[in-house]
Structure 1
Amino acid sequence: MDAWRRSLVVLLLSLASAGAIAQRAPLQQSFDLRVPWIPQPVLVDGKASLVYELYVTNYAQAPLQLQRLIVLDQQNHALVELDADQLNHALGRPDHPADHDYARLPPGMTAVVYLSVPLAEGAAATLHLNHRIQYATASGQTFSVEGGAFAPDTRKPLELGPPLRGGPWVAIYDARWERGHRRVLYAINGAVHIPARFAIDWIRLSSHGGYARGDGTTPGQWFGYGAQVLAVADATVASIGEGISEASTLAAGAAHKVPLEDAAGNYVALALGDGRYALYEHLKPGSITVKTGDHVRRGQVIAQLGFTGESTGPHLHFHVSNANAPLDAEGLPYALDHFRVLGVYPTIEAFDQGKPWLPSNKAGGDARSSEFPGPLTVVDFGEDTAH
């Protein structure tokens, strides 16, 4: 009897062991997916979206090829789906591969996917997002992995007044540009940030297009040079940066290597409250009219538009961030409480060539409120900036 019992126990253990082995799914070393900065909904050109970045790091010991990315909601519905070509265009990498195959990630490499996920009205309050990546190994096998789950920050972005008067002004930015604001990462003091995620370079235009008189080779020929720069809210001056001189010509400025600490040129940072700061950069030498600790009122003149720091021409660089620092901070969304859309440039090349913009189909322009201007939008802020 004892021998029979021992045989039965051995048999049962053998079957249990075999079952356990049979249930083990194959494992594949692949990617770490992270969303290090949690986005807030933002209204861009009248459309609500979540603008954020997915960091993808290859932890395999061989290259992996990204093939598809799907952004999923809590019901597993696809909100965004990028095929191989779309994904390659949405990717950025610090090594900037010469063959432009950003989707082929070597071992240890991190790529950043720059995403804009459209939102239905009120959807952010209950939304939970996740990401599914399909990829291929060097042998051609395909797999998928999920990660980078998060719930959006549902706070409303700050609503601010215009940083400039009148117009026309063109909003120079585009998330697709490799060296555009959103795709420039700074690893300072042990952490990587995108300070200018929602930055706009404001450039003044003539009434018919074009940004300068004559050949535009000197700062003073640009229409916006010396324009008054305004406080966007009642705020406290958190810091100023002065002492940066201007090159006499654009060519001389381009030939000068600007150290990272001087990239913002002369600047003003305003503390807006709740850990948020407004940054005004590339200001004209000697034009800053405030000092650290001053209290300013919305619409107050604080400086003049200039050509200092890392700049290809006179403009106002404006953004909002979560720290009193031009580079060591995360860029935050915001809304402008009023502006009038006059039109838009179809491409940055059309702007560069001084061509007229495509006009709005509304007589007198399209009045907007409580939103962020779209890329290459031409706007007028009006003269009455204090409300």
Structure 2
Amino acid sequence: MRTQVGIIGAGPAGLLLSRLLTRHGIDSVVLENRSRDYVEARIRAGILEQHTVDTLTAAGVGDRLHREGLEHSGIHLQYPGTRHTLDFPALCGRSVWVYGQTEVTKDLVAAQLDGGPPLLFEVSDVTPEDVDGDAPRIRFTDADGIPQVLECDVIAGTDGFHGPSRAVVAAGAGGARVWERTYPYAWLGILADAAPATDELIYAWHPDGFALYSMRSPKVSRLYLQVDPDEKIEDWSDDRIWDGLATRLALDGWAPNTGPITDRSILPMRSFVSAPMRRGRLFLAGDAAHIVPPTGAKGLNLAVADVTLLATALVRLLREGRTDLADAYSDTALRRVWRCTHFSWWMTSMLHASGDDFDAQLQLSQLRRVCSSEAAARELAENYTGLPIEA
């Protein structure tokens, strides 16, 4: 097999990269070790920054997003007795959209299989080779158990933290530097067949722990509770979950809608950055290079920013033979990664209870500052809705 760009991983990052390259006449093949059903069912992020919506729209996969997604013009910040609204268009001229990552993936898969480049599911033993030269390759076993070799000009590793690409970059002559922080709390997330009882997302600080009220559609709510990382999901009954949400989101004259819980899981929280994001002709994007806690709604949006930069760099490299953007890709992408990592850490640190009274007073002071200062509110709004992608 032969292609210009071999893409490992069929999450949103890999599929969007293939889509962007195709629109510029660059061939690609996407390899995925899971089944299509599994890929399309993964429940992940749900907040899209303005640049992500614009990129998906320009790539021709935004029709259903605009038809079924929910545009949001702000968020509510809450602490006991107070709920304050941040108006994003007034503060920074941008908005965000609620549209689940599962739906983004379905849209990209459908476009890929409708006359797009090859997308191979259920492959195994994926191994990038000779990435330091000009003719890298990917060895893998296809769904029928037949060994294959994909000859490439470039390999893109969009295969997440546990995929093979990150390890290959780390094994290079210069190695890789890793920064990591594990947070002392996790999120218990649920999907519920309950109409959202709020117009905007609610980020709530409470002495019992953080709570987030989000949504997936006019009939489905997505809610989260801060829990200890060692909590077991079976210890959380429906009643215990709804009681916890009612307590942490309590406000006079308002209460969350309840309904059948259709999905529940516990999500550990950590920050992770690995640099560089390139080794020779192998480029990393998305979770293969960085992970952020979900409080800032940055994970999927960072992946989209990565592949937007990478697609531009690869088009210039493969069509014009110019290496400048490819050579700058890692440094350029990492500047945004660290900005978003800081914002995610800041939101997480401001909103999650630690059990320390001193920390609690600092958090409340910061929340009051954001809720009373236009400058502080604008800083949050600019980062939450997404800073411009560096050219």
**Greater helix share, 1 or 2?**
2
The TM-score with structure 2 as length reference comes to 0.22
Q: Kindly indicate whether structure 1 or structure 2 has the higher relative contact order, using CA contacts under 8 Å at least 6 residues apart.
A: 2
**Greater strand share, 1 or 2?**
1
The TM-score with structure 1 as length reference comes to 0.22
Greater Rg, structure 1 or structure 2?
Answer: 1
